[in-house]
Structure 1
């Protein structure tokens, strides 16, 4: 099962690996640039009520607090007490509201938020359409929904054997995301939720020869492989070792695409 669907049910080791990866990824220049790109689309000249839904450790919530009008009300909401606890510790007097929520109906009134961000959330939830419908309920009539996610189904890590590469790619991406093809379904989900897709943005990150962002994701996988339960311990270690070896001898290859969807009420 996708460990991000219920982080609090994971072992302490896995939870720490998840926290480390979320914070490490959030500090990477490539990821920061993609976050800043969509935050720049949010007006900052007036106070807003903003919701970072599925906030994790609060990487995006903190950037919203820094970027939006100083009188804005920022909420970070997540189903995980463990991740929220880290978020609260990272909140350096920014005044973010950290909301522990349950799966299902959101604990907010209708038309509550001017902007809602879902950053790498929808690919992990069991029912993306149901959550989008709830999001539409609490989004203000003139509000903006921003959905950012990875096209996990297309992520690949190069290996010498094509068969081994495709097998491990499929096992890892299917285990780390409940809906690896989420981005490919977003136009349908938004339409079914009564929302209009206004625009989208795509970014491809590929690394050849030497690894950086994708090599750090390999290290992240190494920490949560036991929880994924898709590769044996030996096979998982062999994959991690092979990725590091390819980096060391300049034959590393990895690639993936990220999408940002901008939507509003129809």
Structure 2
């Protein structure tokens, strides 16, 4: 079954609702905020600058960026109509924030228009990341910054003993809702192929011991397994109840490393020197 994040609008209404809720929960989750704030702290954007968030989903990340850089224009671009409509509803009174529907591999934006381009948990959900990185490079002005933040889903876990059913939910989530669980190990050569210089590459571990931050692993995997007839709804309900029990009792454990790569587009391209 294909990764539902690849084409959200093609998913069932139930799955779209789960995805939208999960994106909002993750954007506000205390275990996720240090990952986001670490790369926002590293950005130096001039007043009046343009930041483009490719694959902006429901806009949770873009809203935080807009609040951090009130003198800049923030554009969130998302291929899903359903998620873009939700992002617009949640945008609030932020005059520097806009959202549009668009394909990250073919943006309706001028070349060299952006100071910063962000790909936050996008590349792990596409079959070929090269067109998105190529397009991000195209719209970056010389000296501009590309931020790629993504999870190392190959190491996602939620089990506390062998055979833990919640551990199986984490495995099933990665199997059915992630296109490339190993993408973070490929990021450095990927951006270098487009002439970008890697400025920073770091890893922060997201450890979930409370809250609803990893409930999406249970909901998306069990919904998929119910719809395919592998398990029944009573088991799906029991898995969610077990997650909630552990969260309330302080017994929850989820682990997911996040890698952030920050790269710079050269001020002068090799082609311009040759010309």
Query: How is 1:46-125 mapped onto 2 (pairs within 5 angstroms)?
Result: 46-70=47-71, 72-95=72-95, 96-102=97-103, 104-125=105-126
Residue 140 of structure 1 is matched in structure 2 by: 141
Pair 1:232 & 2:231 matched: yes
Q: How far off is 1:250 after superposition?
A: 5.7
Pair 1:158 & 2:129 matched: no
Local SS of the residue matching 1:143:
strand
Q: How far off is 1:159 after superposition?
A: 4.6
Aligned length: 261
4+ residue segments displaced more than 6 Å: 163-166
**8 Å contact 1:183–1:259 — kept in the other structure?**
yes
Change (3 A) 1:103 1:115: closer
Q: Deviations over 1:138-167 (max 9, x none)?
A: 111110011111111101111533597776
Local SS of the residue matching 1:175:
helix
Residue 175 of structure 1 is matched in structure 2 by: 176
Q: How far off is 1:51 after superposition?
A: 0.1
Query: Structure 1: how far apart are the matches of 2:177 and 2:15?
Result: 13
Change (3 A) 1:258 1:218: same
TM-score by length of 1: 0.86
1:212 pairs, out of 210, 213, 236, with 210
Query: How is 1:186-265 mapped onto 2 (pairs within 5 angstroms)?
Result: 186-207=187-208, 211-213=209-211, 216-219=213-216, 221-222=218-219, 225-227=222-224, 232-233=231-232, 236-237=236-237, 239-247=239-247, 251-265=251-265
Local SS of the residue matching 1:13:
helix
Change (3 A) 1:166 1:248: closer
Unaligned runs of 5+ in 1: none
Unaligned runs of 5+ in 2: 267-275
Query: How is 1:14-53 mapped onto 2 (pairs within 5 angstroms)?
Result: 14-53=15-54
Q: Deviations over 1:139-198 (max 9, x none)?
A: 111100111111111011115335977765433212121111111111121122322211
Please provide the CA RMSD for this pair: 2.5
Q: How far off is 1:35 after superposition?
A: 1.6
